[in-house]
Amino acid sequence: MQLSARELAAILNGSIEGDPDVKVNRPSKIEEGGEGSISFLGNPKYEDYVYQSTSSVLLVHRSFEPRQAVNATLIKVDDVYASVAILLEQFGKSTTRNTGISSQAFIHPSAVLAEEVTIEPFAVVEANAHIGKGSYIGPQVYIGQDVQVGNNTIIYAGVRIMQKTEIGDNCIIHPNVVIGSDGFGFAPNAEGIYQKIQHVGNVIIEDNVEIGANTTVDRATMGSTIIRQGAKLDNLIQVGHNVEIGENTVIAALVGIAGSTKIGKSCRIGGQVGFAGHLSVADGTQIGGQTGVMSTIKTPNANWVGTPAIPYKDYFRSFALFRQLPEIYQRLNELEALLRQQSNSTDTSSPTPPNN
């Protein structure tokens, strides 16, 4: 794809300073640049790169005024990051995929494929599965029995979707995701041997959900594990059986969510957070990275951090004291030594009782 600065400005509702006819064919980082590329300045602390950049076009905020000469054509916009998202979507459209049903895919005779479905080589679609209009099934994907996939959903290479899973419209499932495998459920018998608990539920993924590579979502013991519409999951997340994740909640990589935990809508969960099972998290909760959530969070729109999780401000007050512990410990030892010295001095200065 090749676009002029004039065409890009029209798409982004921006204004141009420089050559409106200069052409770009790819986005790039501002520090890398290169002729024919477009970069952006989103954070003012990186302004020095503007004057060094070899990019042909730079996206900047509408209020930006350069302190010295700039070689690139500037496109000034109201929101740089929103414009970058639009820009990347434009260039992403140029990425082509195969279309149609590969002769090297296995499609069970009872499977139902809507119009404009693409299925790549070595994919498997089992009995009674339904694939919605315009959806894409990548190479080596496994679609189990009775799986429902909505319209315009993209399932990338190597994904495994087990039986009875339901996936909505406009979802994106990245490579090697596993959806609908058994949850971690065992019960010890009288001899202390762990017996497997059969999981007969399913997974429901609503519309506009994105799930990152190598994430796993376990099916419910009974009922459903549910990821609500608009939720976004990063790579390498473990979602346990019977978990519910609320709409428009975003979860960063390496998070583990134990069984039957309910996370509210519009929550933001940092990386490496761990959730104990059978608890609930209020809407709008924000949880810092590496936090351990051990109990229910009832207050909506609050920030939590630490293990066990405590309110954000309390954590940093406590951490300020924690950093002083070595100094406090030293001062305590000095005070104890001074008290012992004073006690010994008092004992030796006491008069000797007379002999009777």
Q: Would the pLDDT of 18 be above 90? A: yes
Q: What is the mean pLDDT of residues 63-86?
A: 95
* CA distance linking residue 200 with residue 335, whole number of Å: 65
**Would residue 130 show up in a list of annotated catalytic residues for this protein?**
no
Q: Determine the pLDDT at residue 57.
A: 97
Q: State the pLDDT at residue 356.
A: 56
Check pLDDT > 70 for residue 227: yes
Instruction: Label residue 345 by pLDDT band (50, 70, 90).
Output: confident
| pLDDT higher than 90, residue 91 | no
Residue 349, pLDDT > 80, answer no
> Do 208 and 153 meet the contact criterion of CB atoms below 8 Å apart?
no
Mean pLDDT value of segment 56-79: 96
Look over the chain and give the mean of its residue pLDDT values, rounded to a whole number: 94
Residue 251 tokens, joined: 């979860």
Topology, domain 3-92: 3.40.1390
pLDDT for the residue numbered 224: 98
| Helical residues (DSSP H) of the chain, grouped into ranges | 5-12, 48-52, 80-92, 312-323, 325-349
Catalytic residue among 108, 199, 241, 278: 241
pLDDT in tens, 228-244: 999 999 999 999 999 99
Q: Does residue 116 surpass a pLDDT of 80?
A: yes
Distance (Å, rounded) from C-alpha 107 to C-alpha 102? 10
Q: Where are the domains of the chain?
A: 3-92, 106-313
All residues at 6 or more sequence positions from 85 whose CB lies less than 8 Å from its CB, including other chains = none
As a whole number, mean pLDDT of residues 59-69 equals 95
User: Is-contact 279 298, C-beta < 8 A?
Assistant: no
Q: Given this model, what pLDDT does residue 92 score?
A: 79
Left, alpha or beta for 271 (phi > 0: left; psi -120 to 50: alpha)?
Answer: beta
Over residues 279-305, the mean pLDDT reads 98
Query: Homologous superfamily of 106-313 in CATH?
Result: Hexapeptide repeat proteins (2.160.10.10)
Interval 100-120 mean pLDDT = 97
Give the Cα separation of 98 and 136 in Å (integer): 9
Confidence of residue 351 (pLDDT cuts 50, 70, 90): low
